[in-house]
Every structure is written in C-alpha cells, then in structure tokens.
Chains A and B, each alone.
Chain A
Amino acid sequence: MIEGTKSSVDGRCPICIRECRRGESFCGRRDADGRLRQPDIVAAWMIDRLFEKPIIHLGPDLPVLSIGSWGCNFRCLGCQNARLSWTATGEGIKIINLDPGVIIRTARARGCRGICYTYNEPAIQIEFVEETARQARAAGLINVFVTNSTLTCSSIDRLAPWIDAVAADIKSFDDNFYLRYCGTQGIIDVAAKIRRCIRRFKDDGCHVEVRTNIIPGVNDSEDAFRRISGWIRESLSPETPWHLTRYFPSHLLGTCKTPAKTLFQAQTIGRDEGLAFVHVHLSKGCDCAGDRCLIREAANGDPSLPSCCDQGLNFRTWSGIADFEKHD
C-alpha cells in the first residue's frame, strides 16, 4: 500500500496547479483529506519505445513499459484517451491493483529498459508514480514522465529525483486556449504556470523534451509557433527538442487532422527561432493516433466513430494479473 498525500496546510491539494479545495477533487482521485484513492492501480499498459513518447534525445530508442490510470486535471475537448481521462469516478474502467514491484519485475522480464507514466495525467497519482519510479531506479530502469505540465513546484521537486526524462506538453501561450479547449476553469495564469512547470523540471535536472499538439485553426498561427519556440530557446535551451504532433479528430472536437504543411511550417519557424531539434510527427497525435487514423480511413472519416481507446484497439486493458504476465 502506498502512502497517501495529505492536503497542504491551507487545505488545498498540493499536487497540481488546480489546487482543489479540501473536500473537492476535480480529478476524482482524492478523498476529502486529499489522500489518493485507489493508490496503486493501472488501467492501461503497453510495451512500446521511447520514440513514441516522444523522447528522442535521451539516448537509444529503448523499449519501455507504458502504464496509465484514470482521471485527469484537464478536460481537453480533443482528448484521445477520453475514456480514461474524462471520468471523475473511474466507473466502467477496468483496473487492477498493482504493487510497483510487480510492474518492475514484469518490465524487466519483458525486456523493457524503463517505465513510462502516461495515457492520463500521471501527476494526479503522484504517490504511485513516486514509489514506482523510486523502485524502478533502484532496479536499474529509467523513468519517463509524460505530462500536461501542470504540476506544482513541490510536486516536481518530489518527483524529479526519480524521473530521467519528461515529455512535457505546452499547448499554447494563451490562457483562453486552455480555458476553452482544456477546461481549466478556476486556474489563474494557467499558461504561465505550465511554462514554470516545464522550466522547473529542467532546473531539477530532468531531461526535458517539449511537445505541442497542433490543432488546425486553434493553435496553429505563426505567432503561436514563434512564441513557443522562442520560449523554449530562452527559458530551456536551444538544444531542447521540440516535438510537433498532429491532431487527429477525437472526442468532442471534430476539427480535421492537422495538414502536414502546417507541421512543416512550424518546424521551419522553430528552426528559424534557433532551436536545434524540431521534430515533426505526422502519424502521432497521442499514443493511439496512428491506430485512430487507420480506423478513420476505414470508416471514410466517419466522425461519429468511437476512438480506438473506446474500442479497446490500442490499450491492453487489465483483465487480471495473469493477463498482464502472459502478454508481451
């Protein structure tokens, strides 16, 4: 059993920048005292590689065990893992209670070189991530944290000693974007706090690669590209990788997938702004975008089609520990 986190002295949850009041839990993962409910659960897992995170500049493209849970502190309209992330109760999600030691043993048995905390926002179960990452480090595995960059400084300082690499989202410089497309009502200065979070990970010694999912007509202006790439150069470093991922229609946002030329335009701007490594991902929006794309094409672009996550086509959802042990 993993030790929970109490609320801060003023009664607010200290985990993420939403800082919910005592008794409230936007993500649904905290009880009235701020302790983590279902502290050691996994709802989705898959063996893939660092390139998929995307983490390209840490070293070799190692296989990692990617794990995720349910709940999120955002409500992104175009979320591609909405079935996992949009729930505040976990109802209908297949989960399994899992000791971090089992995760690590299984990762090693399957030839994985690390653990990746991803799919939903992993910060909301920081206790589980911290304990698993600590044990993974001791076992010689690396830890990769894929985040929407909404951790408080205290949470970052708590996790950073165990995290090797962070794939950090920066979706926009505009608070209104986050309000409208990510459901950040109640969070003041959200864009600035996200930038501060990414910077803090870097200051704490983590390898950071920044990711922007470009949505047509939403965050695809030249000015937006220049502001983000300029900030990466100035606040992180010119050598910090910037990944440009493609938006694929999903959940409540029916916008068309991002034109390739938009991604290449952003890449050119990023390079013009002085970034050494700007990577375009045409087949990647989130971890299941590639599969989604195929489904859409098969259905002639029918926007009513559920995501691959909904159909269980991408995630190997838990049905029991025996299932976990036998899959590769």
Chain B
Amino acid sequence: MNVVYLFMSSHAAMILDKMIIPQIQTESHGANVVGLFFFADNVHLCLPEHPIGEKLSVLATKHGFFLACCDFCCVQRGISGCLYPGVIEGCFPDLFRLAGEREVDHIITL
C-alpha cells in the first residue's frame, strides 16, 4: 500500500518524529510511504536547521519518497528557497502530480 501524508496540524511534527520516522527506519510502518507534504508551520520541518529536518532528508534519499512543502506557507514564513535540496515547493497540482506518478492508494492528513 502506497501512502502520502499531509502534515497540517500543529502536532503533526510530534507524530512524524515519534512514530512515522522511527517506523520507517525500522521498516515496521506497515505501508510504503511515497511522499510527505507539509503545510503551515510544518514547512519548518524541511529546514536544515530543524532537528527533524536532517532525519527526514536522509530517509527521503534512502527510501526515495518525495518531500514537498506548500509554497505559499514557505513564502509567508520567509523560508522559501531555504529548504533541503530536493524538497519541492508547490501547491495542490504538484501534490496530485507527484501522487499520480507513484500510484498512491491513500492520502492521509495529519
């Protein structure tokens, strides 16, 4: 099962850090994560300065899933262009394109 996560809520970072990342690292997540898309303050998670950012970047490279952030949210927070190399800044058309290329079964919002 291929899944994409959308990170919307203020506590999504905790869920990512404490559950999803460790489970992916130990290959016990139960689904194949093909992409993560970040909204609102969660776009900070894709910054090199963020403690979760480096873990995410390493995992994305190793497992080949995409990292993408809401472009408006990045601009609003003054961090556009400052994300990890390879992180996509885009909007829903990009999300659906990326999801469509990967035969996603579920898009899950956290």
Contacts and interface: CB of A to CB of B under 8 A. Distances in A.
A276 B14 CA distance: 12
Interface in A44-65: 51, 61
Interface in A241-274: 259-261, 264, 271
A283 interface: yes
A280 B51 contact: no
B77 A283 contact: yes
A196 interface: no
B78 interface: yes
B10 interface: yes
B47 A260 contact: yes
A279 interface: yes
Given A282-B77, A290-B78, A264 B44 contact: yes
Nearest to A61: B76
Contacts of A278: 10
Contacts of B41: 279-280
A260 B49 contact: yes
A231 interface: no
A136 B33 CA distance: 50
A208 B76 CA distance: 21
Interface residues of B, number: 13
Contact of A283 (B49, B51, B78): B78
B78 A284 contact: yes
Given A282-B44, A282-B79, A261 B10 contact: no
B50 interface: yes
A199 interface: no
> Secondary structure of the B side of the interface?
loop
Nearest to B47: A260
Interface string B42-65: 001001011100000000000000
Contacts of B79: 282-283
A277 interface: yes
A281 B50 contact: no
In this complex, the member of A259, A261, A271, A282 whose beta carbon has the largest number of chain B beta carbons within 10 angstroms is A282
A259 B78 contact: no
Interface in B9-23: 10-11, 14
B66 to A, nearest CB: 23
Nearest to B14: A271
A259 B77 contact: no
A138 to B, nearest CB: 31
Contact of B50 (A260, A277, A283): A260
Contact of B76 (A51, A260, A261, A276): A51
A259 B10 CA distance: 21
Contacts of B14: 271
B8 to A, nearest CB: 13
A264 B77 contact: no
A175 to B, nearest CB: 32
A277 B10 CA distance: 6
Nearest to B51: A264
The 9 nearest A-B residue pairs measured at CB: A283-B78, A260-B49, A290-B78, A277-B10, A279-B41, A264-B50, A51-B76, A280-B44, A282-B79
22 contacts: A51-B76, A259-B49, A260-B47, A260-B50, A261-B50, A264-B44, A264-B49, A264-B50, A264-B51, A271-B10, A271-B14, A276-B10, A276-B11, A277-B10, A278-B10, A279-B41, A280-B41, A282-B44, A282-B47, A282-B49, A282-B77, A282-B79
